[in-house]
Structure 1
């Protein structure tokens, strides 16, 4: 298979480096270390999720690792993403700490969490992470189109992924185009608009018409485009419910209605209000 193709089972995206990124993963942002995080990850793995997305700044990598170990699922069957906290100096030293916390020898994807200090300074260290065998794939997060241009200009290894806020109200078509131009997979976080979109009238109407939940409609809008998505929940029934998005298709009319919710003007910017 070639980059940007979807795997035969329709559940993963082929990356430019040859890896495969599941189209749906569980994210654990704002889930505290401990029982709540362990339970959420275990419920997800038991339900059939095979991608868990964490980060150094989340401070819950140890709970993700415990849940993975307790699940009994082979390490090679679960895709693990973590992210470099760019207020630290060295991506290599940081990922070594992450691996110890997670209890694994390698992560599947390691991302620069945001472009603090500029988009390029951390990238040589990210490339060393791969050379040292600590990550199969490396990428970025919250990088705008101009950031991607900068980091790819001198890179020996192009980022495989750019994880950004992406949903019907944040339909960043310019950024999506930039990712395609560089053969980088855009990955969506906050596809539910951090929950705000669940009560949107258009989303609710579409969900009612097709007998699905608003969350399923929003997640399907993302993955139907071949874009991987990270959903977050600590409620078992919602975790299981969110996975049931591969047995239906949104009509072109429903997709167009959701597209029309965009508030970004199809921007190439990753975040309207950066926090760094």
Structure 2
């Protein structure tokens, strides 16, 4: 396929709507094979994190594989994230470690992974100060060009409002869990108001949504897979997605979401599944 469509971040930089998630993708060989399959399928964005422990393997795979596909560093968009253990005074060191591990010259998008701090209770009142300190360090590295864009992950509406009131550089992106059972309407509205890109993770609900009867009904009527329906539901609303897989066939199939549309009635039926259900961690209790 040709490269997936892109969205324009508030930095002016384009980011592909489809990226490869790399959570739980571990080991040099597994990362290499997944990146090879993804580049062959047309992926140009890759999402990692310090806590995934695969930044070095991802960077090495890209350095080796980009020439094979006639690509350069500028042709791919790399996201990584600050570990919760580095929240606060260790943020500069943590971000520089990610830069060193990836070894790709710069990171296109770097996120604060979690609003809390590893080792502190979620209600601890040091959490707001720690994430504010982290943001200052990311702003500094952004100013140096080492982090081309900066943003956050797993922030609630309250965390976002707090950040928007204090930041010098506004976040380019918010990455959160998003699927038909968790439509995140308040967060999406807030992001739209402030020009922040809203990006989905866990679009398939850790795989559990693939068995949902309505999603399968829509998939059968469209002659598509349940995964393709879930990804299409998001991108049809302008929400970028990061499906993760190490299976070359699934990696390819996850790109096949731009040559069909869901009917408005099916979009509405899928969105009506919204019940606030999370398959992943809940940040709402973090002070």
Fold shared per TM-score above 0.5 = yes
The whole-number CA distance in structure 1 between the counterparts of 2:285 and 2:98 is 25
1:16 shift after superposition: 1.3
The whole-number CA distance in structure 2 between the counterparts of 1:69 and 1:272 is 35
Q: Give structure 2 stretches of 5+ with no counterpart.
A: 117-126
1:90 shift after superposition: 3.1
Are 1:195 and 2:194 matched, yes or no?
Answer: no
SS in 2 for 1:139: strand
Match runs of 1:143-158 below 5 Å? 143-158=155-170
Structure with higher strand content: 1
Please provide the CA RMSD for this pair: 1.9
1:271 aligned to 272, 275, 282, which one? Answer: 282
SS in 1 for 2:46: strand
The whole-number CA distance in structure 1 between the counterparts of 2:174 and 2:53 is 21
In structure 2, relative to structure 1, the CA distance for the partners of 1:61 and 1:10 (3 Å cut) is closer
In structure 2, relative to structure 1, the CA distance for the partners of 1:275 and 1:150 (3 Å cut) is closer
Number of the residue aligned with 1:83:
81
Q: Give structure 1 stretches of 5+ with no counterpart.
A: 1-8
Number of the residue aligned with 2:47:
53
The whole-number CA distance in structure 1 between the counterparts of 2:24 and 2:162 is 30
Number of the residue aligned with 2:94:
94
Alignment deviations for residues 101-122 of structure 1 (CA, whole Å, 9 cap, x no partner) = 1121101000000111224231
Number of the residue aligned with 2:72:
74
> Given that residues 90 and 125 in structure 1 are in contact (C-alpha distance below 8 angstroms), is that contact kept between their aligned partners in structure 2?
no
Number of the residue aligned with 1:15:
9
TM-score by length of 2: 0.88
Number of the residue aligned with 1:243:
255
Report which stretch shifted further, 22-31 or 32-41.
Answer: 32-41
SS in 2 for 1:130: helix
Are 1:256 and 2:250 matched, yes or no?
Answer: no
1:95 shift after superposition: 2.2
TM-score by length of 1: 0.91
The whole-number CA distance in structure 2 between the counterparts of 1:76 and 1:273 is 36
Number of the residue aligned with 2:174:
162
Report which stretch shifted further, 85-94 or 41-50.
Answer: 85-94
> Given that residues 33 and 62 in structure 1 are in contact (C-alpha distance below 8 angstroms), is that contact kept between their aligned partners in structure 2?
no
SS in 1 for 2:203: coil
1:10 shift after superposition: 7.0
